[in-house]
Amino acid sequence: MKKEYTLTIFTENKIGLLHRITVIFTRRHLNIDSLNTSESEIRGIYRFTIVVSTTETMVQTVTKQIEKQIGILKAFYHTEEEIVYQEIALYKVPTKAFAHGDDVESLIRKFNARVLTIEPEYIVVEKTGHKTETQQLFRELESYGILQFARSGRIALTKQIREITSYLKELEQQQKESEEEVLTYN
């Protein structure tokens, strides 16, 4: 049965790594629903967060294949229940939409969004939340005219502490030891 999974992949900063990861999904005819990359809490280690809808068997296979790639330190997959996640959305709305009373302002408050910038021609609104929430605000603002809309990929942290934290501490220790070895040999 297909289900939404979030993969967290810890990597070195290597050129071409993103391409090699996406090829793994392409070969299995899996669409990536969301992709986000950033530095992790450990200097020099990066975190890829990828969302896919597939079976557990397929996500297990993909995770194992990703881990075989050079430059991949560790890959995990999680269900929605095992993570805390958010996305951010930006909406550029014409300033004139605010001239028709408090409707747009009320929407912004109702959705716990905030105004980022006010310009003579437009206002940029930010909403943080799940995809359904950011999409709902988009639908509500559509009638006022949306000049531009952008939504980030998912960012996620696991609810369980031990699995990733202990692994990252191990990686950090290994990295320190290899840096000390380099200094010793120089």
Query: What structural domains and CATH numbers belong to the chain?
Result: 3-82 (3.30.70.260)
Residue with tokens 């021609």: 121
Nearest to 167 by CA among 53, 55, 29, 67: 67
Show the DSSP H helices in 9-159 as ranges: 17-27, 56-67, 103-110, 131-142
pLDDT at 43: 81
Q: In what order do the strands lie in the sheet with 46-54?
A: 32-39, 46-54, 3-11, 72-79
Helix pair angle (131-142, 103-110), 10° resolution: 170
Contact 158, 8 (CB under 8 A): yes
Q: CA-to-CA distance for 141 and 138, rounded, in angstroms?
A: 5
Bridge partners (DSSP) of residue 35 are 50
Q: CA-to-CA distance for 98 and 83, rounded, in angstroms?
A: 37
pLDDT grade for 41, boundaries at 50, 70 and 90: confident
- Name residues whose C-beta falls within 8 Å of residue 77's C-beta, 6 or more positions apart in sequence: 5, 6, 7, 8, 59, 60, 62, 63
| Residue bearing the bigger pLDDT, 13 or 63 | 63
Q: What is the pTM of this model?
A: 0.80
pLDDT over 80 at 162, yes or no: no
Bridge partners (DSSP) of residue 128 are 88
Pairing of strands 122-129, 32-39: unpaired
pLDDT at 184: 67
Average pLDDT over residues 48-75: 95
